[in-house]
Structure 1
Amino acid sequence: MAELLPDPDNPANPANPSTSGPGGARTLFVEGDNLDVLPLLPALIGSPVDVVYIDPPYNTGNDFSYADKMGVGRGRHGAWVAMMRPRLEAARELMAESAAIFVSIDDNEVAHLRLLLDEVFGERNFIAQVVVNLNAKGRQLGPFFATNHEYLLVYARSLSSCGLDATSVHEVSEADFPVLDPDGRRFRHLPLRNTNKKFNPATCRTLAYPLWGDPLTGRVATAAFDGGQEIWPVFGDGAPAVWRWSAPRVEERPDDLVCRTISGRLGERVDIFQRDWLHPGRRKKLRTIWLHDEVGSTDTAVAEVKALVGKVFESPKPTGLLLRILETFPSDAVVLDFFAGSGTTGHATLIANAADGGSRVSVSVNSPEPTRTGSAAQVAGYESVSAITESRLRAAAAAHGEDVAAYRLS
């Protein structure tokens, strides 16, 4: 019967008070075929997984690197899907109801992967298909276009319970809040009316009501006052609209509202705006195109690996990509990567914990697949890809004063 055994040659330090995972470490490395390892992880980590990220081997038209008996006798797309299906199903069983999975993929398999994820997780649990620009110049050697993007498919374990917060503090800019208050705070004006025409007096009757405002003083109230004029929410074309706030909320926060005269399509009119304040910890919704200057590139990823273990991995992912993903979940998340490759996920988790004082636990799984004959990795003394993963994790953990708990499939 298969089991996960701690590596006696590289034990974690259980006396380290800063760590809290199995063996006393928050960075776990497991060597073995992920299909065999995944069912054994609950006993090892003792809690459901909150975030799954994988960068599976891409099917580029040649035999993909992850040899698997389940793909024998099938076409190349069918073989790839057959390899992925049981692994995704096993991962789903490990995930908390609030969890989400992020899968990096390129054009060769994105269509097949999207259908497979629809089957395994349910089409209703699809969240996003993010375009990730990891190559600023584009691949110049291929035919036709210089491809400079990949994809990140995001699915919830259960959309109604999903804890993913698709916002970031790093996307917020002072330039988005151009007005400076006398007390030094910055804000911007947002229309108090709902600008989405799906929300109107027919669909949201309780939000269609008059307010009173004075464009000279800026005062706004729910009842008439001297100098105030009655204002109803309208769209730019004059069609009836609704407010975003209820009347009780207006009464609670009158100082966050201002009455102004504006020029619209139908001429000047008086309208009401919300003062939307910039404050510490303010977050902004993430877009579905992630640029290399935001999350890093393949070049920066190669440099990150080289700085720790040498130039021994061809196409790693940058830690910036994983840091953005980790930012969408709480700082005590359990993070799983069962195609760990160069170890980017575990490395990024260490960086995230150091940055915000978090207690995330990362679990990186990789198989002892032999490195290619004559490759830089083999020349450097790495006999397997998993050896690269473990070496990087140990180097990164040491740089942060942390430990790695290693386990082998037996």
Structure 2
Amino acid sequence: MIKDIITANETVTPNQKELTVLRENFPSCFHADGSFDMVRFSEFLKDKIDISHEGYELKFIGKNYAKMLASLDTETVIVPDETHNSLPENANSENVYISGDNLDGLKHLLKSYAGQIKCIYIDPPYNTGSDGFVYNDKFDFTVDNLVEKLSIDEEQAQRILDLTNRGSASHSAWLMFMYPRLQLAKDLLDSEGVIFISIDDNEQGNLKLLCDDVFSETNFIAQLVWEKKKKGSYLANAVTNIKEYVLVYAKRKELFDGLIGEINSEVETYPCVNASNGRDIRIIPAGIESKYREKNFKLNAGEIISDTTMNLVLHSDLIIEDGILAQELRIEGNWRYGQEAMTEYASNHEIYITRDLYLRRIVKEPRYKGLKDLLLRVGDNNESGYSYDVNGANLQKSGWGSNEDADEEQRQLFGEQSLMSYPKPVLLIMKLLSCLQKQELTVVDFFSGSATTSEATMRLNALGMKIKTICIQLPEDLDYKYKNSSGDDKANAKKLISFLDKNNRPHTLDYLGIERLSRAARRIKVDNPDTTADLGFKHYTLAEVTQTTLDKIEKFDNSGFVTDTTVYDEFGTATILTTWLVHDNYGFVNNCAMVELAGYTAYWCENHLYLINPGLTEEAIKALVEKYNTDGKFNPQNVVLFGYSFNYVEMENLKTNVKILRDSEKNLKINLDIRY
């Protein structure tokens, strides 16, 4: 298990994954000393493709280091949240939420899901300098290690270590962070699969080159432009950006089905109010709920309120009493809503005043309910005339959600504003997934954040689709962040900690996503009482093996007659079994069953029988042999042992009986696999 992986990782070099593919498919191009014959390889290819001697690629500090990280196996184990997973709403769910480093998570997923995922959506850190991104590497390499493994000099090795060990936020550090994750993501996609990546201007150019390198520029589908807000700041002294991007790459473009979208502009599925762009006075009736910083507050007429979007001029006193606007208010500014609409929304209690005195409407009918019309077109778009290519489309013009929508979703779900900074709106993810023309698919998001992708798939499933999700989120320690940050970062961490405390959740960021999904599921069920959609999820944590356990593994000796179960006790059956099932290509959703053998419990999943628990008696081994001989449906060809659970006598007894089964008249082909 872990010991085997650690031993294998010691020999890993950059391009290990690529070399393995070449050895499997072109063994004759390798010499006896292991060197690769490029001339002979070219001879294989010259009749099939044009060979160019010109090169163009993205280069950055640590690229070979990043490739090596992609080739290293993960040394973590998968710990199931047994209490959560056994709840009625989760017990049969096929959705997965993983708490852990996404580099480790992707490596686990590849063991079961390589080449099977239809869609990946990620919203990675943008490396803006204010989004908290720094390279945080847990690998303990030395200069000498890197000199040997990467064939570089000491100066280059030290520069790489400086990026990894000192928390760099440079472009090279960001590229080194993203490269192995995209490499692994590519291997997850099936031949018809696609990846959507959200990004802004800061790393957009680098990400495009990086994706061209990893996925090939021939598989580039589109760079979609998403308008995250309707207008920029009036106070900015430079160009303000209201757009972000979604890069789209296919695994194999020639097999990709393309994207569809809404082209019937005569059918408006979302409520839309035309806003005035002039500096008009609006009258806000008394009684409007206020989210202002103070529950009781007063500003005098004539004062100017500086807002990030506009200057608001008060033409009457602003008086807030007990969180409610106490009297009618007249404000001059640039308004999203006309007076008639504003009065209507106020009478319906659909407007509140934000903390910065901006008016916001409470959307009681979320935009994503309008997606039903789009979903009806999926599958028969060729006949309905709705098919079109959204390449280059502006994703705001047809209602793809905005930052304001995302904030409103948080307010409705959490009862507070902006628990997460700059989350994506649910509608954006729903529409991207709907445009794939697939009624059934599995979606992976390994930068889960506040779990927007998972909520989006829940809502799509409530509308009739069948989407499974696998999401990964780093369990960032919010207590540590609060103690070691300042300004807005410190305030945001405090706000998150307070929210998690109120809901009896641990102080790690992954539990915000867990809480969101639980709340979203309840709300969707209320809105759709007859739905049979899968609104639950299984939760797993990726755990690093402690140094204490590693020391026990190193000292372990099973040559005696007494079984030393201390290593087994460190892991437990559930963790070992879950890790192995994923490792052996059975995934998180499988048909694993318990098998009783004279009081000993083994675990059987298709072609594997797992012997994990200590206490494998002679009677249990006899019962196992009997089951092979008499049960025609029982024929697992791999008997897998957790080596730390058995002593020498038990091992030898099992080996002897497996040999007898192999040599019997039934000629059973049984492989005994002892894992450490």
Q: TM-score, normalised by structure 1?
A: 0.67
Superposition map of 1:231-242 within 5 A = none
The question of 1:282 aligning with 2:386 is answered yes
Does structure 2 retain, via aligned residues, the 8 Å contact 1:12–1:404? no
Separation in 2, partners of 1:351, 1:7: 24
**Matched residue type, 2:121:** Y
Offset of residue 283 of structure 1: 3.4
SS at match of 1:29: strand
Equivalent position of 1:54 in the other structure: 122
Q: For 2:86 and 2:394, how far apart are their aligned partners in 1?
A: 39
In structure 2, how many angstroms separate the alpha carbons of the residues matched to 1:78 and 1:360?
Answer: 36
Contact 1:172 1:283 (8 Å CA) reproduced? no
CA-to-partner distance for each residue in 1:36-72, whole Å, 9 max, x for gaps?
A: 1111124566871111111101111358435422742
The offset of 1:303, in angstroms, is 1.3
Match of 1:390 among 514, 518, 522: 514
**What's 1:171 paired with?**
263
* Contact 2:99 2:474 survives alignment (8 Å): yes
CA contact (8 A) 1:331 1:353 kept: no
What is the match of residue 381 of structure 1? Answer: 500
1:144 aligns with 2:248: no
Q: Please give the alpha-carbon distance, in whole angstroms, between the structure 1 residues aligned to 2:263 and 2:476.
A: 39
Displacement after TM superposition at 1:282 (Å): 3.2
Q: Deviations over 1:290-338 (max 9, x none)?
A: 1166111111101112222233112100011111110122021110110
* Between structures 1 and 2, the one with greater strand share: 1
Mapped pair 1:68 → 2:125: no
Assess if the C-alpha contact under 8 Å between 2:114 and 2:189 holds in 1.
Answer: no
Query: Structure 1's 66 and 9: CA in aligned 2 closer, same or farther, altered over 3 A?
Result: farther
> Number of paired residues?
301
Spell out, residue by residue over 1:203-236, the C-alpha distance to the aligned partner (whole angstroms, 9 max, x if none): xxxxxxxxxxxxxxxxxxxxxxxxxxxxxxxxxx
Q: Is the 8 A contact 1:63 1:76 kept in 2?
A: no
Alpha-carbon spacing, 1:346–1:292, altered in 2? closer, same or farther (3 Å): farther
2:435 aligned to 328, 347, 356, which one? 328
- Please give the alpha-carbon distance, in whole angstroms, between the structure 1 residues aligned to 2:382 and 2:103: 47
- Residue in structure 2 matching 1:407, options 528, 531, 540: 540
Are the structure 2 counterparts of residues 334 and 63 from structure 1 closer, same or farther at C-alpha, using a change threshold of 3 Å? closer
Write the mapping of 1:214-253 to structure 2, written as runs, cut at 5 A.
none
Give the SS at the match of 1:407.
strand
Once the two structures are superposed, the pairs formed by residues 10-409 of structure 1 within 5 Å of their partners are 10-11=84-85, 24-42=92-110, 48-61=116-129, 64-65=132-133, 67-69=135-137, 71-72=163-164, 76-139=170-233, 142-163=236-257, 165-168=258-261, 170-174=262-266, 282-286=386-390, 287-291=392-396, 294-309=399-414, 310-311=416-417, 312-329=419-436, 330-355=438-463, 357-371=464-478, 372-373=481-482, 374-375=491-492, 376-381=495-500, 383-401=507-525, 402-409=535-542
Task: Verify the 8 A CA contact 1:37 1:409 in the aligned structure 2.
Answer: yes
Distance change >3 Å, CA 313–CA 83, structure 1 → 2: same
Which structure has greater helix proportion? 2
- Distance in 2 between the 1:384 and 1:75 partners? 22
Question: Structure 2 CA distance, aligned partners of 1:120 and 1:114?
Answer: 10
Cα offset, 1:397, TM superposition: 2.4
Instruction: Tell me how far apart the structure 1 counterparts of residues 401 and 98 of structure 2 sit (CA, whole Å).
Output: 27
Deviation at 1:364, TM superposition (A): 1.3
- Letter of the aligned partner of 1:282 in structure 2? Y
Residues 4 and 143 of structure 1, relative CA distance in 2, 3 Å threshold:
farther
* 1:8 is the counterpart of 2:82: yes
Structure 2 unmatched ranges of 5 or more: 3-75, 138-159, 269-380, 483-490, 502-506, 526-534, 544-676
Correspondence for 1:241 = none
Work out whether residues 115 and 191 of structure 2, in 8 Å CA contact, stay in contact via their aligned partners in 1.
Answer: no
CA contact (8 A) 1:12 1:403 kept: no
Residue type of the partner of 2:412?
Answer: A
Whichever residue aligns with residue 389 of structure 2, its letter is: K
User: Structure 1 residues 106 and 380 mapped into 2: Cα distance closer, same or farther (>3 Å)?
Assistant: same
How many Å separate the matches in 2 of 1:279 and 1:95? Answer: 29
Give the greater-gyration-radius structure (CA): 2
Corresponding letter in the other structure for 1:5: V
Where structure 1 has 5 or more consecutive residues not aligned to the other structure, the ranges are 177-276
For the 8 Å contact 2:198–2:244, the answer to whether it is kept is: yes
Distance 2:183 2:212 in 1: 12
SS at match of 1:400: helix
Matched residues in 1 for 2:114 and 2:176: separation? 29
